[in-house]
Structure 1
Amino acid sequence: MGTRTTSSLQPTPAPVPDRLSWIPIRSLSERHRARIASHILSLSESDRYLRFGYPATDEQVQRYVESIDFERDEVFGVFNRKLELIAMAHLAYLPVPTQADAPATAEFGVSVIGRTRGRGYGARLFEHAVLHARNRGCERLFIHALSENAAMLKIARNAGATVERDGPEAEAWLKLPPDSISSQVGELVGHQVAEFDYQLKLHAQRLSTWLKSVSEVKTHMSETDRSASE
């Protein structure tokens, strides 16, 4: 057994990242499964290794995506202006414990595409997952990561999690406070604003596509008129 290091189990709010004060995080559903697959498949080999604990192949990624139970678990994502899924988190609720005093637990996993790393997406998704888990009566959040995944373990430690190392692997446990009116309202407002942000991006994308089509039609008509006059 390797050396273990621990920190307090007392719930502590995660610090606010310096570069971003807020980002729109949208709940994903069954209809986003293809986008989730595309996102994870776009990860580099090293990023897949950190996300899953092994260098997942395309086939293994597809099996993971197909296994996501959207009725039981929660999946969150961050979209850029092109509606590309650039960061996502999977909050998997573990089976209800058989012991009466055993705490309800959920496991957290996150991935961020390379070119957008360092912008606080991982920390924000973790904070978002904590809020959702609290509001659903979850008492603990669990993270299983490689010991070399410093970014993920830093997020956990900053939130006040207990981190236990066992050779190449590490586990982080975060005790969650009970839900409150503030946490319930915070989730509701965040959901509404993120949905509004997504719809704006969707309309902007559709407008851009329409304008491009109009431009192509005008160009085609101009070329046709020029050919007819020659």
Structure 2
Amino acid sequence: MSRLTLFTQSLWRRWMRWIPVRILSVKHRPKISAHLKSLDPHDRYLRFGYPATDEQIDLYVEKLNFGRDDIYGVFNRRLEIVAMAHLAFSVDPQWTTCAEFGVSVDQKMRGRGLGARLFERAVVHARNEGVALLFIHALSENTPMLKIARKAGARVERDGSESDAYLTLPVANIDSQVNEMIEEGMADLDFQIKARAKQFSQVLQTLQEVRKGVRESRHKSSV
């Protein structure tokens, strides 16, 4: 087997495992709200530190500052958000190089690396934005989140039922900047492909319903 073939196969395997992460905007508020409301009470407790009600989730989504912070999402084929992350940049003048990370994943989509992928994506952007310290506040029982942080090299400090993780980020370089640019482009392309596929599916479903209606009409007229 040639080196070119091996290289091509390697790229293909990486592409098949790749999880596209898209930057969300104001127009995605309804989808963000739907995702968070789909979490059960325990998952809401892990995400927010308290069992947030639907009204509290609406308030959280309404207050999201898309101009200052970065919100990331993973979409399924129905263009529903199945995982999202919030990278909140510090507004304290003394901590301008700090940011906080929070993540949530649909229960049915866990165990597929979505949380780790969102964390990886947020780290790259935070690094390129000059963030030197990434902070994660989580309940001590939120072992998946703390595991992701530890694996990335974060220092985790536990204080009873709560834990704080601190990850020192390296200075941005050409590789990190190019990597983020490629990530954004590929994620946008993936979303457009899913959007076209959904539109085609809807058109096909409509045509099938029309054909079914025509057949039923013919059957009735022949009786």
Q: Does the pair score TM above 0.5?
A: yes
Q: Does 1:69 align with 2:62?
A: no
Measured against aligned partners, the alpha-carbon deviations of 1:23-77 in whole angstroms (never above 9, x if no partner) come to: 0000000000000000000001110010011111111111111110000000000
CA change 1:33–1:103 in 2 (3 A) is closer
Partner of 1:220: 213
Secondary structure of 2:165's partner?
A: strand
Partner of 1:14: none
Native 8 Å contact 1:86 1:113 kept in 2: yes
Native 8 Å contact 1:103 1:139 kept in 2: no
**After the TM superposition, which of the residue ranges 117-126 and 20-29 deviates more from structure 2?**
20-29
- Per the TM alignment, residue 96 of structure 1 is displaced from its structure 2 partner at its CA by 4.3
Native 8 Å contact 1:97 1:104 kept in 2: no
| Structural RMSD (CA) | 1.1
1:26-175 equivalent positions in 2, closer than 5 A: 26-98=22-94, 104-175=97-168
Q: CA–CA distance in 2 between the matches of 1:172 and 1:70?
A: 24
Q: Does 1:191 align with 2:189?
A: no
Q: CA–CA distance in 2 between the matches of 1:222 and 1:55?
A: 52
Native 8 Å contact 1:74 1:92 kept in 2: yes
Runs (4+) of structure 1 exceeding 4 A deviation are none
Q: CA–CA distance in 1 between the matches of 2:46 and 2:136?
A: 12
Greater helix proportion: 2
Measured against aligned partners, the alpha-carbon deviations of 1:74-115 in whole angstroms (never above 9, x if no partner) come to: 0000011111110000000011423xxx56111000000101
Native 8 Å contact 1:76 1:90 kept in 2: yes
Native 8 Å contact 2:89 2:96 kept in 1: no
Which protein, 1 or 2, shows the higher relative CO under an 8 Å CA cutoff with sep ≥ 6? 1
Q: Does 1:176 align with 2:169?
A: yes
Native 8 Å contact 1:106 1:133 kept in 2: yes
Native 8 Å contact 1:156 1:174 kept in 2: yes
Q: CA–CA distance in 2 between the matches of 1:175 and 1:35?
A: 32
- Per the TM alignment, residue 223 of structure 1 is displaced from its structure 2 partner at its CA by 1.3
Partner of 1:17: none
Native 8 Å contact 1:161 1:174 kept in 2: yes
Q: CA–CA distance in 2 between the matches of 1:123 and 1:192?
A: 20
Secondary structure of 1:70's partner?
A: coil
Q: Does 1:209 align with 2:202?
A: yes
Secondary structure of 1:71's partner?
A: coil
Could you tell me which runs of 5 or more consecutive residues in structure 1 were left unpaired when the two chains were aligned: 1-19
Could you tell me which runs of 5 or more consecutive residues in structure 2 were left unpaired when the two chains were aligned: 1-15
Measured against aligned partners, the alpha-carbon deviations of 1:161-195 in whole angstroms (never above 9, x if no partner) come to: 11111111111111111111100110010111111
Amino acid of the structure 2 residue aligned with 1:38: A
Amino acid of the structure 2 residue aligned with 1:142: F
Partner of 2:6: none
Question: Normalising by structure 1, what TM-score?
Answer: 0.88
Amino acid of the structure 2 residue aligned with 1:70: F
Native 8 Å contact 1:50 1:149 kept in 2: yes
Native 8 Å contact 2:156 2:163 kept in 1: yes
